[in-house]
Amino acid sequence: MVEELRSKLKTAFRNLRKQNQLVALANYSCCQSCAGYAIGQRIEQNPSKYRGYVFWTKQDDEVLEDLNFVYLAFGSKRITANSNTPQEESNVIIGREIKHELEKTGLKVEWNETANERIKVVS
Selected range binding Zn ion among 28-36, 38-46, 82-90, 102-110, rule: CB under 5 A = 28-36
Q: Report the residue from 30, 83, 85, 114 that binds Zn ion according to the rule CB under 5 A.
A: 30
User: CB of 22 within 8 A of CB of 77?
Assistant: no
Indicate the residue among 63 and 93 with the shorter CB distance to Zn ion: 63
Binding mask 32-61 for Zn ion (x = CB under 5 A): --x---------------------------
Helix count and strand count (H, E) for the chain: 4, 5
Smallest CA-to-CA distance from 94 within 54, 62, 38 is with: 54
- Residues near Zn ion, by CB under 5 A: 30-31, 34
